Structures are given as C-alpha cells and as structure tokens.
Structure 1
C-alpha cells in the first residue's frame, strides 16, 4: 500500500483545526495542548519526509495524482522538490513554536500574566477565543503546506486564495491594537490580496486556454498540470504569441508580488503585522508570505521562461527599490514592531532579486533566504513581542537599560538582530551573499545598490539595540501605569520558544549545506528546463607584444 505522504502532511493540521473547534473540552489549556500536539506531530511528519526524499533523485518526488474534475483536466496533483521540502520544514517547525509563543494571546488585549489564572466569568470567553485562535493558526499551516506541494495550477490557486480567510480573522480578531485599527488592517490585507488573486485567476484561465489550443492534456482538451505546461513552455510547445505569454506572466507575478510583498504593493504589511499578535504576525510574514516568493520561482519562471527573461530587469529594479525603501523606512520608525515589519519588506526584496537574477547561485540563495528570513524574523519579532507585552508599549523611546534587568532577553534580541543584518556566522549571511553574487554576474548595478542595505540594516538594528537595551532605564511617556511595569527576563516557556530559533540561526550559519544540498538540485533542474544558463565569466587578458614575446 502506498502511503500518501504529502496528503497526510497537510491533512494532519487541517483535521486538528476542526478538532479544536469541536472537541468536547471545557478548558482553554486543553485546546491549546491539542493544537500544540498536532503541530508537533506535523513537524515530526515533515522530518520523516526528509528520509523519504532523495536529494540526488528526480526533481519531483513522492508524487500523488488523482483526477479531480475530468471535464476541465483538473487533478489533485501533489509532488515535492528540494525547495518545497526546505519551506515545509520551516513551516512545520515554526508552527508549534508560534503556538507556544502565543499560548496566552487568545486572552485578548486585557489578558493576564502567566502567573494569574482567568477568573470564572472569563473562562467561557477565553475558551471560545482559544478555540478560534488555535484553529485558525492550524488552518493557515495546512494551506501553506499544501501550496508547497501542489503541482496543479488550479489547485494551487484555490489554496493560495483560501489561506487568506483564516489569516484575515487572525489579523482582525486578535492582538493588542484597538479593534478599529485591527479591522482596518485586516480589510486592507484582504482587499490587496483578493485583487491579486482576481488578476491571477484571469491568468490561470488564460493558461488553460493556451494549453487547450496547444493540444495539451487528455484528448487535447487542456490541462492545469504544472510539469506538462512547463515542459511545453520550455520546448516552444505553447500555441500563444509572446505578447499573450507576457500578459499571463504579469498576471501571475502581480498576485505573487502582493503576497510577498514587493514594492509598491507592500503597504498592507506593516499595519497587518503590528495589528495582530506577534505569533500570528510571524505566521504571516515568515510562513504565509513565502508562498509568494516560492510561487515566483516555481510558476513564473517555470511556466513563462521567456517572459521571465524579458521582465527580469524590471522586476530586479523593483526588488532593489524594495531593499532600500524597506531599510530606510525601518530607520525612521519609532514603533519597534513596525520597524521589524519594514525590515521584512527589505528582505523580501533580496529574495525576489535572487529569483529574477536567473542564475543558479541567485536562485539557490533566494530559496535559502526564504528559510533564513523565516527563522531570523520569527526570533526578532517574538522576542520583541515578549518585551512589549510586559510594558504594554511598542514605542522604542519607552525603553532603556533593558539589558540590566533582562540580560537573556537583551542577548537573544541582539543575536536575532545581528542575524537580520546578515552578520557572518549567522544563517542569513550566506543566503544574502549568494543572492548578491548571483545577481552581480547578470545585473552588477542592482547587486551594488542592493548591497547598501547591509549598511542601512546595521544602522537600524544597532541603533535600536543601543536605545532600548543600553544606557539608563527610561520612564515611559506613553504608559499610564505609575510606576510603569518592571521589565523581567524571559520565562521558561519563552526560553523554550527562543532557543531552537537561535540554535537554527547558528547551525545554518556554519552549515548551510544542511539545506542547500536539497535546494541546489531543484534549482539546477529549474534553470536547465527554463534555459536560463548562468552567464559565462569574461576575463580580459592584457595585450602582449608579439615581437617582444619572441
């Protein structure tokens, strides 16, 4: 009997999501434990996938293919490649960490500290909010995992859009921001992404029509099968003009650029990240948004190799603007959580730049950057969230001297911040280095301008650390309590949350091959199929006087 490895991968959190809503339990802690247990089991299942995946085998492995809607050639088609495996591990490992980090988040803006138990009158409301919160987090995980293995274009589109629903409720329903701000952030998030999805739907239909005109699929009626369409695109088997293919490419790119996000389609991200809980914000920025950059690599490059080459200079220019814009905006922020949100816009610019460098080094660095950004952003945002939850303020000027009162918190914040600025020895360094080197061989000006973000990131991270963690303790101006709440060090639960992230940043900083050994073959196969060969190095030798030589 063949085990449906990939179906079970997304089905475990999906079933758990329904279970926490319907399970006959009377305590919020029991619901949280069910969700955490399911997330840990999903992480274990993802680790098992490593043993089933052959890094030296074919690009797509553990395939599952069942006819779904035969009349339109739609299939339930799943397959795993090295890039998808790396992102699946990121998602599966981060989810239990986020559930543990947000253990008390469902208690709402007026939630109590860990040492206090909820009073009886609040028990029913806390139970209900916990059910919704855990179920929504697991639903996002299930849909993200499925998007990384879907190889039917329509199936991917359905999951791509469906994951917006639970994230919308996470943004609008939970967090310390006022209800009105959260609602506005959630609606903005949804409208931006629905617009992108609407444009993508038109492009998906266009791909099906082109496939039918090209005689692809059963009886030549068209298909949504990604490998079939990608093979036809690489061999010139699509019956469509370059103009049509360019328009279809732009439709897919627009949706993915909104999800990533890429400047100038980024403006929904800071409000959404600040409005919701830190754990839900990390689920959005470090996990869900990776679907956009992953899809650029798999669908934009795979389905439209010629259009990708045509638009690569434009997309690279937008990526460079994102890199510099995000870093400059981060420097000017007075709100800590908003500052970290803007750093993600800069980092997503690096990821997109690596994808559209159309080189093996650039795309391998980009895929690795997706993993490393997820780890570093999760660490920095969660640690910042632990700090903000104590004082009730995210204003940087409300803090000072934290390293004296909470040395472990300050130390881990520094390590996560140094990872964000790509310090050598920490995971993001090698991925950013590969992106810059891979881009330089094709677009040297873009690589040089993008490198300026290294200086800018050092400025906003180290300046923030100096103001918040060093110096004398400041009296907060925006906190009503008198005296203001004291800053305490990380609790045992919070240390358990942060420790694996710091260890992963160090491990991948010194041993990036742990992930690159799976990413590189998939990237090489994609580069070969799309025909985007790495540029040949040019070396100019000095002129030699032949007479003198003789």
Structure 2
C-alpha cells in the first residue's frame, strides 16, 4: 500500500495532463480528491504501523532490485522518523489543494505540478536507498522551481533561479557524499539499512570527514541553515501562496530529515567528533533568523526568516545529541524526539502562517506591514486565526511548538548547556516579532490598505483551521505522535553511541 500512497498523486497528475479536455473545475476537484484519498491512506498506515513495524525494522517495507550493477534498489518503508513526516506531507498538500480552489491561472498545470510534488515529497520520506532518495531530492528542486517561476510574483524568475542554483549545488554535494558512503561500504551498496548497520567509515579519519562535510553542506542548504539560507527569503516572497506553504512545511524538512535518517546513523563517529560545530550553526541560525525576522517590513519575508530560526532548533538538537554522554541515553532520545516533533510542529504552524499571508495579499495586494492596521474590526475570523498561529509559532504552552521546543531544550542541555541557554533567547525574539507584526496589521487605527477588505472565505478557513487544530491537539495530547517517534529516536541514540 505504501507504493500506492507515493505514486497515486503522480498517476492522477499524468491523467490531468494527458486528457486535453479537462476543465479547470475537474482539475481542482481531482486534486482535492486525490490528496484527500492519499491522506486517508496515510491514516490507515498510521493505524496499522505498530503491527507493520513490530519486528524492529521499517514498516510496510518493499525492496525490489532496481539498478543491480551498483546495488541500488527500490527500497521503501516507514518508521518513527519518517511516518510523521509522511503524514505531515499528505496533510499540507490537501490544505493547499483546498486553499487553491480559487486559483484561476493555468489551473490544470498548477494542480498537476502539485500532485507531482506530492509524490516526490512522499517518495523521499519513505526512501531507504540513497539513489532513490537523491532522485526524489532533485525532483523536488525541479518541481518547486517550476511553481515559483510559473506562478510567482513580479520578481519570480530571479528568485526561482537563485533557489534552483543554490539547492542544486547542495544536491551535488549530497551526491558526492552518497558516493563516498557507497565506496566505503563492503560490499558496496546504496541501501540505507545496510549502510547504517555497517558504519563503513568508522576509523577512516580524513575520508570520513570529507564525506561528512559533503553531506552536511548538501543538507544544510536545503534546511537551510546560516550561512546557506540566502535563497530562502526571495523564494518565499515571490512564490505563490501554495508554493510557500509546501516549501516551508515540507521541502525544508528534507534537509533536517536527511540528518536523522542518513548522517547520524551512517557516520556516528564523525558526527560526534564535529557535533560542536553543528551546535554552533544551530544556535547562530536560531538567533540570526529571529533577529533578521524582527527587522522585516514584509510580512511574508518575516515568516520566511522565522523558518531559519525554527529549523535552527532542529539542528541544535541533533548536534547536541552527538555531544551527550553515551551513558545518558534518555537525553539523546529526548533531543532527537524533539527534533522530529519540531519538524511536524513547524510544518503545521508555518504552513498556516503562509496561508494567512496569502489571505492578506489576496485582500490588500501587498505584504507590507505599513499598509495595514485595524484589520481586527473588519475581519474578526482572520484576526482570530492569525492570533492563534502567532502564539503557536512562538512556542506558547498548549501548542505543538511548546512540546517540541521543551524536548529540544531539555534533551540538549545535557550536551550543550551554554548553546541551549543562548537558544532560549530565540523564543523571546520570536515573541517580539510576532506580537509586533500582529499589532501593526490587526490592531490600532485602520491603515490605508484595509478599505473594503473582507473576512475569510470558506475555502480559506477549511484549509487553515485544521492545521491549527492539529497543532493544538499535539500540544495537548502528544502521546499519539510521541509513541511513534520515541522508539526510533531511542534506536538512533544507540547508534550514535557506537
């Protein structure tokens, strides 16, 4: 069933493009129906996962020979690290499909492209072969480039080109790292499970360091961390709303997921050695992202920089896991669990924020904070959801962000107490920037751009409310998520202790 989940959107995308008489209405509803069915299938996978993964290996595993000359196979499966991101992906694509009901420009191509992207994203998170992972990784770059260039704002072509060149260079570095792992393995293989078992670069010195560098650079560009983040703000600012949502909620997670799926289990010795550098990068990303976001006058650009901040917490956690003493397995597990929970939390909350930014642009034609003011009186539903999203993003108790950041800080303190204490400042800065933005847009005197602005439409509300509701559910009742993540996080902590 896992292959059906991955390739169903691609099959429908092909049908939409092959059938020339497909109307815009059919394309819209085909996109929504396909994403809804895929989400239901993922829910079924989640319900059956405890039995599917009962023997310690990945659940719903498929392993078929693909390129035998290099020992690469169509090897897919899910575990506690990947299943939450598969669920997040299916949720976010359905939200974008519903939000895009009012899309009028080249609807059939737009729907087909997002269905293609859904397959690519799902495929990456279930991949258990490095070549298969790389194929989906590169295809995600192509798909998002087309979204930004084809449906973006006035400077979209330049932003799309910058996005493509930066992330493609990162993917080339990633490929070099994969080849290094393949050559070090005996027998040579690209299979992730076998590579994690072998730990092929243990004691390899310079060779292991070079492979680690290639992988970290490739994944850091995608995450993105400072100083590889400069492609992100223009890409977000110029992308259409649905493109920004998928870019922030799903594509950025490919980088952080790569750390926990590939780098930590396959290069534990090298990761532990250079973990202090990773921790510093994480803390710098947390503080820099928040400070630069605080200075923005463009609402969408501000949200983009908060992604650098929030992904910095993930990098801090996985770096600190490499510094924690092998005797403190609980702290390692807690740091990794927090990192994966933060990926899910950030996807839901920042996805909702970008949808709200799209509502703002749809009404006022600009993201400029100075063009608004006093919107709460005219658009109470919009203002209410924006307030919930803002408080959720700054990590208020009762939301998923609090659960994630609490685990990250608690787990990271054992290995990196000073860095973790500095990262606490990021919460204060995030609170300041969101409260400042909310006050300027929704409170005070009415701005010049608010005349005649209407409240949320049904399609907008239906796409945003479930995301924030899920953030609340995870914040109040996190066990259903943590019960899936924690066993995989404990196993990863043991691998780091080798």
What is the TM-score when the length of structure 2 is the normalising length? 0.95
Q: Is the 8 A contact 1:59 1:522 kept in 2?
A: no
Larger % of helix: which? 2
Q: Deviations over 1:337-380 (max 9, x none)?
A: 00111111100101111122211111100000000000100111
**Partner SS state of residue 357, structure 1:** helix
Q: Is 1:379 aligned to residue 352 of structure 2?
A: yes
Q: Is the 8 A contact 1:390 1:485 kept in 2?
A: no
**Partner SS state of residue 53, structure 1:** helix
Structure-1 separation of matches of 2:202 and 2:437: 55
Structure-2 residue corresponding to 1:276:
239
User: Would the alpha carbon gap of residues 307 and 239 (structure 1) be closer, same or farther in structure 2, given more than 3 Å must change?
Assistant: closer
Structure-2 residue corresponding to 1:322:
285
Aligned partner of 1:168 among 129, 139, 145: 145
**Partner SS state of residue 487, structure 1:** coil
Q: Is the 8 A contact 1:387 1:487 kept in 2?
A: no
Structure number with larger C-alpha Rg: 1
Q: Is 1:42 aligned to residue 38 of structure 2?
A: yes
Structure-1 residue corresponding to 2:412:
439
Q: How far does residue 56 in structure 1 lie from its aligned partner after superposition?
A: 5.5
Matches within 5 A, 1:89-488: 89-105=87-103, 107=104, 126=105, 129-175=106-152, 177-178=153-154, 181-211=155-185, 215-216=186-187, 222-233=188-199, 238=201, 241-358=204-321, 359-476=332-449, 485-488=451-454
Q: Is 1:530 aligned to residue 493 of structure 2?
A: no
Structure-1 residue corresponding to 2:2:
6
Identify unmatched segments of 5+ residues in structure 2: 322-331
**Partner SS state of residue 81, structure 2:** helix
Q: Is the 8 A contact 1:136 1:170 kept in 2?
A: yes
User: Would the alpha carbon gap of residues 414 and 204 (structure 1) be closer, same or farther in structure 2, given more than 3 Å must change?
Assistant: same
Q: Is the 8 A contact 1:259 1:292 kept in 2?
A: yes
User: Would the alpha carbon gap of residues 76 and 100 (structure 1) be closer, same or farther in structure 2, given more than 3 Å must change?
Assistant: same
Q: Deviations over 1:507-537 (max 9, x none)?
A: 11101112111000011111112316xxxxx
Matches within 5 A, 1:24-103: 24-54=20-50, 57-103=55-101
- After superposing the two structures, state which structure 1 stretch, 249-258 or 52-61, moved more: 52-61
Structure-1 separation of matches of 2:469 and 2:425: 28
Identify unmatched segments of 5+ residues in structure 1: 108-125, 217-221, 477-483, 533-550
Q: Is the 8 A contact 1:365 1:433 kept in 2?
A: yes
Q: Is the 8 A contact 1:59 1:525 kept in 2?
A: no
Structure-1 separation of matches of 2:158 and 2:452: 32
User: Would the alpha carbon gap of residues 327 and 506 (structure 1) be closer, same or farther in structure 2, given more than 3 Å must change?
Assistant: same
Q: Is the 8 A contact 1:140 1:288 kept in 2?
A: no
4+ residue stretches of structure 1 with deviation over 6 A? Answer: none
RMSD of aligned residue pairs (Cα, Å) = 1.4
Structure-2 residue corresponding to 1:491:
457
Q: Deviations over 1:256-287 (max 9, x none)?
A: 10001011000000100110111111101111
What is the TM-score when the length of structure 1 is the normalising length? 0.86
